[in-house]
Amino acid sequence: MGFLCSDALIAGVPLVPWLFAYITFAMGLGIRAREVARAFVRPLPMLAALAAAHILLPLAARGAGGALFGPDSPYTVGFALFMLIPLGISSLMWVVVSGGRPALITALVTFSSLLSPLVVPLGLDLMFGAAIEMDTRGIMLDLLLIVVLPTAAGIALNEATRGRAHAALQPGAAFVSKLAFLAVIVLNAAAIGPHVHALGGAVPAVAAAVVTLVALGYAAGCIAALPWRSPDLTATLAYGCGIRNISLGIVIGLEYFPPEAAMPVVLSILIQQPGAAVFHNLLRRIRGTGTGG
């Protein structure tokens, strides 16, 4: 719809940051401070996942993009941006159905989101430097306003009401946040629609690279969990590293970079959730083999 109805929808693009701020507020509304604090009792698994997600994978993304399109290509910037954006809240659903650790993934997503004003601009600056024009201050301010403050407000409201706000508001808030997420995708696709024709034959190569990076994310999470030899921790860290906050990546990509830089993140919409389902089935097969099933 976004691509096909670009002319009719593009006027709504300025609403995207506000919609995204609501999404992160609704996410925060479902988080208790003690859930986040519990993960810091044994912080090494969380630190291993964050290092894999925000250091190793962005470097791999830059290397892959540089090999395919050149080190300073907007596509390469987009690959790196895809791996620098915070972890996605939908990972919580997959961790629950895979028998992982909900409290740990909640802490990972929250901490990754709160760090994003530092991680995203600093990571891009270290990898690309003067090769790209970047409003570092603007990116940090946007991430603060649409990620950190709404998340903190949601957590604070939930804490102040001792969880009653979550019980009373979350059913409706979660439904509206899904509609807001749909609107973010549609409006961002509308914004990038006029530029798609200029991408030409690059789209298949970009899509193949995104599939590879998503797979690398799951592999990195599994490797990060190896020292603990725990199936539930493996599932948690794998989904943590494999699922990213795509809508935020599109917002930042379209606001501060050429449309080509947003293309890897846009294409990941089609890949991320099917990839999570494939990994879920892979986990079931591995566990079945391990128990003699």
Please provide the DSSP assignment of 73-113 as one string. -HHHHHHHHHHHSPBPTTHHHHHHHTT--HHHHHHHHHHHH
Nearest to 127 by CA among 58, 184, 190, 192: 58
SS (H, E, C) 31-79: CCHHHHHHHCCCCHHHHHHHHHHHHHHHHHHHHHHHHHHCCCCHHHHHH
Nearest to 241 by CA among 71, 65, 95: 95
What pLDDT is recorded for position 269?
77
**Do residues 70 and 226 lie in contact, with contact meaning Cβ atoms separated by under 8 Å?**
no
How far is it, in rounded angstroms, from Cα 90 to Cα 149? 20
Amino acid residing at 28: G
In eight-state DSSP terms, residue 225 is T
**Do residues 165 and 157 lie in contact, with contact meaning Cβ atoms separated by under 8 Å?**
yes
Amino acid residing at 283: L
What pLDDT is recorded for position 183?
87
How far is it, in rounded angstroms, from Cα 183 to Cα 9? 10
- Burial category of 274 from C-beta neighbours within 10 Å (exposed 0-12, middle 13-18, buried 19 and up): exposed
Please report, in tens digits, the pLDDT of each residue of the chain (293 residues total). Answer: 887 888 889 888 888 888 878 888 887 887 788 877 877 788 999 999 999 999 999 999 999 999 999 998 999 999 999 999 999 877 887 887 888 888 788 889 888 988 999 999 999 999 998 667 778 888 888 888 888 888 889 888 988 998 888 888 878 888 888 888 788 778 877 877 776 666 667 778 888 999 999 999 999 999 999 999 999 999 999 999 999 988 788 888 878 888 788 888 878 877 888 899 999 999 988 877 654 44
Nearest to 112 by CA among 75, 58, 171: 58
pTM of the full structure = 0.82
What pLDDT is recorded for position 292?
44
- Burial category of 106 from C-beta neighbours within 10 Å (exposed 0-12, middle 13-18, buried 19 and up): buried
> How far is the CA of 154 from the CAs of 27, 130, 171, 240, in angstroms?
7, 37, 14, 21
**Do residues 271 and 79 lie in contact, with contact meaning Cβ atoms separated by under 8 Å?**
no
SS (H, E, C) 147-182: HHHHHHHHHHHHHHCCCHHHHHHHHHHHHHHHHHHH
**Do residues 243 and 271 lie in contact, with contact meaning Cβ atoms separated by under 8 Å?**
no
